Structure 1
Amino acid sequence: MRVLLGNSILMSIAIILLSCINLNSYSPLHLDPNQIESNYSDESTNFTNFTSSGGSGLAVSGEPGYVGDTLVASMMVTNSGNSSGTVSLIISPISGDEIFQGLQIPISPGSTREVFTPFKLSSSGTNNFDWRVSVVDDPDNSQLQGNFSVEVMPSQALNLSIDTIEWTNSGGLNFEASVSLSNGKSRGIILEASSGSQGSYQLLQSIQIASDPGRRTITFDLGHPSADEVLLEAIPIGWSPSADSVNSSQMNVSEPLVNIDSILVEASFAPERPIPGNRVIASIFLENMGNYQAQSGYVLVISSSDQKILTETQVQSVMPGSNLTTDVSLPDWPVSDSVVLEVQWHTSGIKSSNFYSIETDNSQEGLYLPFDILAAGYGLLAGILTILVGTLVWRAVSTRTPSTSDFNLRETKESAKSLSKQEKTEIQCSYCDQRLMVPHNHAGGVRCPACSMEFVVGENDKPPHPVVRSSEDTLNCPECEQALRVKIENRPAMSRCPVCKTEFMAEAEES
């Protein structure tokens, strides 16, 4: 068995060797020279080979086409070479000079990519175009090229109009517009509503819609703009309407005004008779009796005498047939017997006002001093304490210190008690004729408690004093010329000037 197995193996090997010898001997006779060249050139040369994938050819999307539309031509391109390359699709009308070239698309070996180019339709009817795939590194390569045609219909007509418009005080400015599109495709449109004032426009609202063929109504709410006209424009998105289209519409508007006779402002003040400098509360009553809403505004309280604004406050809008009450504070009431105030309500561009004459309570006016009352209180307290201390010191000194006056004006309390027991004589004050009681043998100075003047009685041994004579009750001090009053009927009398303390004899001048 082993001998048979070994022989079988040897025979098989021999047969295989003979087959290989026969193949090698016959293969040179069957080699293709082009195949040999290709085998060697593929290894030594890089090249690209662009072809249409699967023979699909050029495809056009976006039809049916209308004048002004933009369609897209595309093709699936395969690179069967061994090197990467970049291509682009070029479209050119046969009857025109315009050229449409798409993006440059890189394609690697063995890959397939879509190459596309948008192009525009310029005329109605049959539009013929040439196309070719351009290789960036080899512009003259025209392996992929051809032509095609597109049936183009006239442009669709777009018409825009403002049908109704209304501007109310409560609802604001709103209008209805109609958008009409002729038969054809659904189109994208941007609608822009603007307000115009004195030739300048401001965009208020912008919306984008897809308009189907036919008529469509759209409502716009614009609030309360500052405008004397409204402009509505339709902007096509990626297409062109026909030349006879109307893609804008405008209309004059006027803002509704509140009648000045339909609004009312009234005020009351607390307290009814304010005190100057005090805080006063004013209750403002606003009423709208008209058909339009009074917009939010402000209230002023003005002093009519100097047009000074005493207070200002913002107020909200007041609906038709309603009212509003608000309180404002006047922190410093003017100083005057009668204050005339003007209360103004500013709303919706108009002003309503009312005048009030308020009587001032001046009974406590003196309590308001032009200085700090607390500091004045401290000063008053300090003054009282000083007076009390001074009084105590004066009393202490007067009870134990003898008189130092030349006319014995100061006496001790002990001497005063002893003198009160002595016999007294009645005399008259030289200045005010007040009757006074003095000790019988007193000689010297006497102070009148009524007029606080001092004069001398009972001293005959004193040196002679100056003599002043006059024919009237008044005379002048011989030392300082101070005018003094000594009645004629009381002269001669010894007098003392309260200013310079000079004593003199007042006598009547003989006529």
Structure 2
Amino acid sequence: MSEAASTPLQLDIEMPSAVFQSAGATTPSYSGGPWHKGDSVEANMLLRNIGELDGRVRLVLSTSTSTSEGEWVEMAQGAAGEISASLQFLASGETSLTWTLESDDGVFDGIDNGSTSFVIKQQQSVQIAFVDVNRTEDAELSLTLHLDLDEGKERDVRLQVGYESGGSTVFLQENDLRLQEGRLELTFLFGDFEADKLVAQVAPLNWLIGPGPLAATSSLPSDDTQFWMEFSATTDPIRPIEGEETTVRLTFQQTGPLQEAEGEVWLMDAYGTRLAKVTSPDWDGASAATLDVVVVWPKGSSVAIQALWYVDGAVLSAETTYVSGEVVIESSGEWPIGAMFWGLALGAGVALVLRIRARKEEESDTKPSGKSTKEKTASKPLSTSQEKREVSCPECNRRLRVPVDYGGSVGCPDCAHKFKVEPERTEEPAEEEDDDLEIEVQPVSKAPVSEKIEISCPDCAQTLRIPSSYEGSVRCPACTKIFKAHEGKQAS
């Protein structure tokens, strides 16, 4: 390379190849919607090869969870063709779909990738049920089925109807059906056959079905239908009180060949009083139905309720017991003025009577004594002395201390010799007599007794006797009038 050359060096080299460009829309078109979880989207796009050589191209689709590559499409120079790809949506909700054009021997003139948002719905489900099984006049077996498809797009299914006998299943009829959203009713006629039960099942064709049973069974018409009913465990409200409107829920059920039988339902309490009379609900092709009955709650802390159901020529009954609530009585904030007044008046009357009786009682007279009572006291010294004297043990000459007035046997602690001692004679001091102390007991003087006077009641002129010194309130025993003592008229 010459020293005069400059670097870096850029060279444009033209090479022949296939060149792809859009022959219509610049983005793919999509089909197959509306989409539910499990559905596939179909994408296609029209391209033209404007290059100098033949080439191939394909469409690739991808989401956050999966990728799908379309088939390679060969395009000669100057030719046009359609590329396509398919991708299954594996999740519900808003989903972003990315598309890309790929070629291993050509280039693209224009847009070669992009993205689109889709809203993916939940899966659709199919419910299947026997709604009627009976025999015609010609002894043929007539079956009626209901197929219910959830809201959404139409779906292809395969329906098989037959019977089960001895553990084996035999399908008498098989049909591929296209279901629209909503209900489809189908009726089948079969000849007589021996079987344990009837069977019907449904399967999706090229789509992902939602949750739910895909098969239904039913007994043959020769079996009897069994009906029964049950009370709910609670009421609404849970603790009703007497006189309150209360909702009681009943559940009606049947087994065997499904029937649309209805009948009257009576609700009664333990005393036979009718609480309600209603009609059992529609079965709507199901084996169970519920009914809410409103009753006026009867009296009692524990209420027993019986239900009688007249259905299919029989009378069925069910019983249960519910616990009632308590009535809360709120007291008013007003004071009972009248009761308080009479209570105070009665208390004052009782106190007055007790006071008058106390005044009437006389205290016991204490008689004075003409002579004074004398009490003498004298002090006297102790008759014995607590002084000690010393004596000697005749055996060991041990000196021992004994009381001066003690006479008797003494034991020596050293030699254990015992000997007797005589008490010393002491002169006791002469007993001095103190002067007698005289205590005079004075007699208790008697309190003067109040004189009784008579007064008259101002209302009924009843004569009353009260102490002359009493100035309080008086209650007339005849007319219960309460008045002051000075208001009564002095009886003549």
TM-score range, shorter chain: 0.3 to 0.5
Q: TM-score, normalised by structure 2?
A: 0.39
Q: TM-score, normalised by structure 1?
A: 0.38
Larger fraction in helix? 1
